[in-house]
């Protein structure tokens, strides 16, 4: 299992969430800020099976807007997750 953390520009977040949901992925959206210019950003949290991580990355790449003068479109962290537990 993999946990994909995607830090995206505020302007791209809605499109990315919609694309991921259309692809059958569950995603949690967390408002965040940071970086040198303190621009608004969103952190997307996506838990997937290891073989699905490349599809998540491709979906994010597909819908991210073009970068502006050296700015990153998306920052991704792909983390191994030993367990997935949902409590009721």
pLDDT tens readout for residues 27-75: 999 988 776 556 678 999 999 999 999 999 999 999 987 776 777 788 9
Ramachandran class of 70: left when φ > 0, alpha when ψ lies in -120 to 50, beta otherwise: left
Q: What is the pLDDT of residue 38?
A: 63
The pLDDT value given to residue 36: 57
> Are the C-beta atoms of residues 55 and 72 closer than 8 Å to each other?
no
* Cβ 57 vs Cβ 19: under 8 Å: no
Q: Is the pLDDT of residue 2 over 60?
A: yes
* Domain range 2-69, CATH architecture: 2-Layer Sandwich (3.30)
Annotated domain spans of the chain: 2-69
Q: Using one digit for the tens of pLDDT, what is the confidence trace for 4-16?
A: 999 998 888 999 9
């Amino acid at each position: 299992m993999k946990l994909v953390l995607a830090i995206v520009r505020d302007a791209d977040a809605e499109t990315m969430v919609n694309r991921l949901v259309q692809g059958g992925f569950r995603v949690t959206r967390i408002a965040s800020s940071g970086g040198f210019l303190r621009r608004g950003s969103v952190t997307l949290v996506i838990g997937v099976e290891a073989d699905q991580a490349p599809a998540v990355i491709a979906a994010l790449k597909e819908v991210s807007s073009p970068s502006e003068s050296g700015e990153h479109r998306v920052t991704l962290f792909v983390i191994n997750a030993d367990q997935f537990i949902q409590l009721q």
